[in-house]
């Protein structure tokens, strides 16, 4: 069956009486993992694992993707920069293009490295900040003698 004939069959079936013309999204029932009325829950372990993976990626990428510094000579120029200079010195236009490629690559790698570091640092900060918030809330929900504040007293603050 060609696309045109299949499309025509689908269009005629859609025009039949009783067919809905609205958009329909397929979904799973909530019991099988298709969603529920619960909010998203993230545990400290989840945050720590994501932050750790971002840190590991940062370290691997920093070492493996550094073509600007790979094979550095005494002046600090990497082998790619050395090749670009050699091509330019011999009046080959490829030298300038190689410099441009090196510059673009280096810029993009630095951007990815910054994002990995940002993710790792932000998750570490979030975890510590939320732990401190929890301690502060727990402290305010206790009497001076250390006993817990009753639910009826808490409900006074909510009203």
Predicted TM-score of the model (pTM): 0.52
Residue 154 scores a pLDDT above 60: yes
Mean pLDDT over 7-28 rounds to 72
| Residue 26 CB-half CA count within 13 A | 0
At 130, is the pLDDT very low, low, confident or very high (cuts 50, 70, 90)? confident
pLDDT for position 25: 58
Instruction: Identify the burial level of 81 via C-beta atoms within 10 angstroms of its C-beta, where 0-12 means exposed, 13-18 middle and 19 or more buried.
Output: buried
Residue 46 scores a pLDDT above 90: no
Mean pLDDT over 53-79 rounds to 81
Q: Are 126 and 44 in contact (CB under 8 A)?
A: no
Query: Which phi and psi angles does 142 have, rounded to 5°?
Result: -130, 145
At 94, is the pLDDT very low, low, confident or very high (cuts 50, 70, 90)? very high
Give buried/exposed letters for 110-120 (b at 16+ CB in 10 A, else e). Answer: eeebeebeebb
pLDDT for position 22: 62
pLDDT for position 67: 72
pLDDT for position 100: 94
Looking at 10-24, 43-57, 93-107, 134-148, which range is the least confident one? 10-24
Q: 75-89, 95-109, 112-126 — which one is most confidently predicted on average?
A: 95-109
């Amino acid at each position: 069956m060609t696309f045109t004939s299949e499309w025509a069959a689908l269009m005629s079936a859609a025009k039949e009486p009783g067919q809905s013309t609205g958009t329909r999204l397929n979904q799973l029932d909530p019991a099988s993992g298709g969603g529920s009325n619960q909010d998203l829950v993230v545990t400290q372990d989840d945050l720590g694992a994501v932050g750790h993976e971002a840190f590991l990626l940062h370290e691997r990428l920093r070492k493996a993707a550094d073509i600007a510094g790979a094979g550095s000579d005494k002046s600090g120029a990497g082998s790619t920069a050395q090749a670009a200079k050699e091509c330019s010195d011999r009046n080959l236009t490829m030298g300038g293009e190689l410099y441009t490629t090196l510059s673009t690559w280096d810029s993009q790698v630095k951007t990815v490295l910054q994002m990995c570091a940002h993710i790792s640092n932000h998750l570490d900060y979030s975890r510590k900040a939320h732990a401190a918030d929890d301690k502060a809330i727990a402290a305010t929900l206790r009497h001076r003698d250390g006993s817990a504040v009753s639910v009826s007293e808490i409900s006074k603050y909510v009203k």
